[in-house]
Amino acid sequence: MEHERIAKLKQQFPEGTFLENEPMSAHTSFRIGGPADLYAEPGSAEELADLIAASKAEGVPYLVIGNGSNVLVKDGGIDGLVLRIGPKMARIDIVPFPTGFGEEWYTLTAEAGCLLSEISAAAADAGSVIGDETKGLTGLEFASGIPGSLGGGLFMNAGAYGGELADTVQMVLALDPETGGLREILNPDMAFGYRTTALQKTGEIAVEATFLLQPADREAIAARIDDLRTRRVTKQPLRYPSAGSFFKRPEGHFAGKLIEDAGFKGYSIGGARISELHAGFLINTGGATAKDVLRLMHVVQAAVSEKFGVRLEPEVRILGRD
């Protein structure tokens, strides 16, 4: 990217903190990725809109990411400006929601930079808001171990262990990068599906979401979270950097089972390996490059297709330049 255009963009935000040639390996759970020409973390939806508008005006490409837990950035890095919606946009508010029918409901509103695990914990620990320390808010236990942020989760309808965001999201506040305007999108209009939402088609960027939750016994919520934590620790290769389950679940199959049955459990290319613990995970055993991961992906796809006639599609977003 031309230094002149980058310099002009930076000049428009003298109060902003920009990092040049920032390694994306520092901002992805894979710990892989070349440098972004320019990197920034906006502190509000308005600042995000201003940065996008300025980037477009200067002809600087931009990319919006969340916690980087479901992306693989190529070794050549990313052209232009990377905007991370992260800890600077991580407010959580919980308030009663009057129904008029005698039932107790609460809304939890969170900014897109919140980690899903933080939102789950806030719901579970909402006793002081509810006015009863023996209770919490149920419905987000499944999200307790998902490493991504809310923004990324809304982009793909993140889920685990039988739950997904679609189950409890009431409304999403999204930024239109073309106009800079904000739009409220109700649950039915989000077109939630398996690892897909309307945001993937409209190009809008989630900046906030509101969940509708009910009180439940706090100990029961904690027990559910502990059970899910135990299942993750015993069945997922958490000690290695990864992007979680690498492939989407093929209809009628499980990606990890197909890979294992094809004989590729533990198979390595460079520093990338198919996990011995869960074959649906491609892991970075140390020093893996994006090229290693992509080569491993292609080998596995070809083997599974040849043996079972099933095409494995990556769930992980593959970004950047070679």
Range(s) within the chain of domains with CATH label 3.30.465.10? 90-233
Query: What is the rounded average pLDDT of the residues 126-141?
Result: 95
Query: What is the rounded average pLDDT of the residues 10-37?
Result: 91
DSSP string, 20-59: EEEEGGGGSTT----EEEEEE--SSHHHHHHHHHHHHHHT
Is residue 211 pLDDT above 60, yes or no? yes
Tens of pLDDT, residue by residue over 33-81, are 999 999 999 999 999 999 999 999 999 999 999 999 999 999 999 999 9
Model confidence at 1, in pLDDT bands (50, 70, 90)?
Answer: low
Is residue 12 pLDDT above 90, yes or no? no
3-class secondary-structure state, position 164: strand
pLDDT at 262: 97
- Determine how β-strand 182-186 pairs with β-strand 163-164: unpaired
Tens of pLDDT, residue by residue over 212-252, are 999 999 999 999 999 999 999 999 999 999 999 999 999 99
Instruction: Please name the CATH architecture into which domain 3-88 falls.
Output: 2-Layer Sandwich (3.30)
| Fold of domain 238-319 | 3.90.78
Query: What is the rounded average pLDDT of the residues 294-316?
Result: 97
Whether 84 and 28 have beta carbons less than 8 Å apart is answered as no
Between CA 36 and CA 76 the distance in angstroms is 9
Sequence-ordered alpha helix ranges (H) in the chain: 3-11, 45-58, 116-124, 127-130, 150-156, 199-202, 218-235, 255-261, 290-308
pLDDT at 8: 82
Largest CA distance in the chain: 62
Q: Which residues fall within 8 angstroms of residue 268, CB to CB, at 6 or more apart?
A: 274, 285, 296
- Determine how β-strand 268-269 pairs with β-strand 272-274: antiparallel
pLDDT at 2: 61
Exposure of 230 by Cβ count < 10 A (0-12 exposed, 13-18 middle, 19+ buried)? exposed
Query: What is the rounded average pLDDT of the residues 283-308?
Result: 98
Residue whose C-alpha is closest to residue 215's, from 128, 146, 126 = 126
Model confidence at 179, in pLDDT bands (50, 70, 90)?
Answer: very high
Exposure of 94 by Cβ count < 10 A (0-12 exposed, 13-18 middle, 19+ buried)? buried
Number of H helices, E strands in the chain: 9, 18
Which residues are catalytically annotated?
195, 245, 315
Whether 18 and 40 have beta carbons less than 8 Å apart is answered as yes
Instruction: Please name the CATH architecture into which domain 90-233 falls.
Output: 2-Layer Sandwich (3.30)
Range(s) within the chain of domains with CATH label 3.90.78.10? 238-319
Exposure of 200 by Cβ count < 10 A (0-12 exposed, 13-18 middle, 19+ buried)? middle
b/e for 289-302, b at 16 or more Cβ within 10 A?
bbbbbbebbeebbe
3-class secondary-structure state, position 272: strand
Between CA 273 and CA 288 the distance in angstroms is 9
Model confidence at 101, in pLDDT bands (50, 70, 90)?
Answer: low
